[in-house]
Amino acid sequence: MKIFLKSLMILLGVGLLFFYFFQELLLFRPGKKIPKEAVYQFQETFQEVNLTTIDGKTLNALHFTLENPKGIVLFFHGNKGNLNRWGAFAPTFLQHGYEVFMIDFRGYGKSTGTFDESTMYSDALLAYDHVRKSYEEEKIIVYGYSLGTTFAARIGATHQPKHLIFEAPFYTMKRAVRHKFVLSPVFLMRYEFPTYKDMPNITSPTTIFHGTKDPTTSYAESEELFNLLKVENKQFISLEGGDHHNVPTFKEYQEVLKKILK
């Protein structure tokens, strides 16, 4: 019995150490790096853009353009995949007359640097500042999906874009991990990403979309985030049976998005 307990404790200790030192493998899933010289393949008209961060790293981005746009959507994607994948989402907004600007987080795609919470927030603000060089705030819509919602919230708390859209947001990263992996040792996590702290400071009209069967980010915690919003112009769109990936397929999502982008 003692040998069993000792072995169990050793395995537990090894597991905790692995989680602590390799938690990035769980939180950030960028896929294969994209060679710097690689050419993106999208049918839509776009420009590849590289932004230089405050610490000298490179943020790779795509700017999907239109001849006479109504405005622009600054899009922050989720934790899985890079612009090779997320660029395919651009037509969702292009069809409504909005250009799209999306970045790859540091360590994703062609972007350089390593994962770091504070600089990732700074990177998001850098992307917003870049878009503001060409568009006034009343023509900028900020859209965040999953991981990207925490960066959209930070922009909304410090600036005033035309509209903020959150798809499947999370309260904090620790809560999100515990929601998906109930027994995970979240006390060892080095990443907080406290989306909830920024919600009360948002002053722009805000829309939250969330599927009721989302196994990755908590629907109930999304409601908590909504209740933290002090702005009067807000709406929570509950998509019955929706999961973490199929929200855009719902007719109600498409109808609400069309109204926002009219």
pLDDT tens for 20-36 read: 556 777 778 898 899 99
What stretches of 89-146 show up as alpha helix (H) in DSSP?
A: 91-94, 117-132
The answer to whether residue 115 sits within a structural domain is yes
Residue 22 within any structural domain of the chain: no
The C-alpha atoms of residue 92 and residue 124 are separated, in whole angstroms, by: 21
- Whether residue 122 lies inside any domain: the answer is yes
- Is the full-model pTM beyond 0.85? yes
State how many domains the chain has: 1
**Does residue 171 surpass a pLDDT of 60?**
yes
pLDDT of residue 13: 58
CATH number at residue 114: 3.40.50.1820
User: What is residue 25's predicted lDDT score, i.e. its pLDDT?
Assistant: 73
Range of the domain at 133: 44-260
Look at residue 183 in the predicted model and tell me its pLDDT: 61
In a domain, 16, yes or no: no
Domain membership of residue 6 (yes or no) is no
Buried b / exposed e along 35-70 (16+ C-beta atoms within 10 A): eeeeeeeeeeebeeeebebeeebbbbbbbbeeeebe
Percentage, residues of the chain above pLDDT 90: 81
Q: Is 65:46 a contact under the CB 8 Å cutoff?
A: yes
Whether 3 is in a domain gets the answer: no
| Distances in whole angstroms, Cα of residue 85 to Cα of each of 17, 41, 104 | 32, 10, 11
- Tokens describing residue 48: 């590849």
For 38-87, the pLDDT digits (tens) are: 999 999 999 999 999 999 999 999 999 999 999 999 999 999 999 999 99
Partners of 144 in the beta sheet? 76, 166
